[in-house]
Structure 1
Amino acid sequence: MHLLINIDVPDLPAAEAVYAQAFGLTAARRFGDGGVELLGAQAPIYLLRNAAGTPAAGDSRRDYARHWTPVHLDVVVDHLEPALERATRAGLVQETDIREADWGCIVRLADPFGHGWCLLQFTGRGYDEITT
């Protein structure tokens, strides 16, 4: 299986700038003015320009205000604090304090397009610390 990540955004140049600055992603291919492929993660991320108010899933319309979704993206980093600083400088908003867990630490963020992100720093054996 090959995983592709697609993220709808209302402003393609702004989103490309945010994700490049926040996560160090780089544009690989452009699909006219409707999309861009970003590389630098384990799976390619495709930013897809879709205006607010256009049809989404079912009867819903795209809304780029902060929203909850059962799917979000985790970015694993070596050092959480500098990654958090970089992400907030790029325009993401920190939504929680940094929380420590048996496997490491996490902080929740929202991008300017309403999507949820988490930064994680694993310590020790990472998630293997909590497996049984």
Structure 2
Amino acid sequence: MDLLVNIDVPDLEAAEGFYVAAFGLRPSRRFGRVVELSGLPVKIYLLEAEPHTVGAGYDRRRYERHWSPIHLDVVVEDLESALARALTAGAEAETEIRDSVWGRIVTLADPFGHGFCLVEFKGRGYDEIARPA
């Protein structure tokens, strides 16, 4: 099994520029109005889709900031550097950096309304707080 991440965007060129600049990803293939980005353990597919078209069910795509129960957590080695890079690329920070036993996290939004987090683990990461299932 593989996992693919699809992100709808209103402007493919602008989205490619953001994700390349923010995370150091690289375009690997193009399919019409889709670009495949490599550089993470999963491929990210940017899908150009017009605002207000039906996305799923009867919900229409909107690219202002919106909430979704699914978002990306990008694990980084140096949170301050990764945050600076994302902000320079056009992300908007929504929280300050927060510290926890397992590491540090900051919540952001990309220029297309999608939320994501930058995470820097410390110690044993989530194993610092994990219990057996």
Instruction: Tell me which interval the TM-score lies in, with the shorter structure as reference length.
Output: over 0.9
**Alpha-carbon distance in 1 for matches of 2:59, 2:80:** 37
Unaligned residue ranges in structure 1 (runs of 5+): none
CA-based RMSD of the aligned residues comes to: 0.5
Asked whether 1:3 is paired with 2:41, we answer no
Aligned residue number for residue 95 of structure 1: 94
**Alpha-carbon distance in 1 for matches of 2:62, 2:108:** 18
Aligned residue number for residue 113 of structure 1: 112
Aligned residue number for residue 125 of structure 1: 124
Question: Runs ≥4 in structure 1, deviation > 4 angstroms?
Answer: none
Asked whether 1:59 is paired with 2:58, we answer yes
CA drift of 1:58 comes to: 1.1
Identity %: 61
User: What TM-score comes out, normalization by structure 1 length?
Assistant: 0.98
CA drift of 1:92 comes to: 0.4
Pairs within 5 Å for 1:75-90: 75-90=74-89
Unaligned residue ranges in structure 2 (runs of 5+): none
**Alpha-carbon distance in 1 for matches of 2:94, 2:78:** 18
Encode CA deviations 1:57-83: one digit per residue, 9 max, x unaligned.
111111001000000000000000000
Q: Secondary structure at the match of 1:22?
A: helix
How many residues align structurally? 131
CA drift of 1:95 comes to: 0.3
Pairs within 5 Å for 1:64-75: 64-75=63-74
Q: Secondary structure at the match of 1:56?
A: strand
The structure in which a higher percent of residues are strand is: 2
CA drift of 1:55 comes to: 1.0
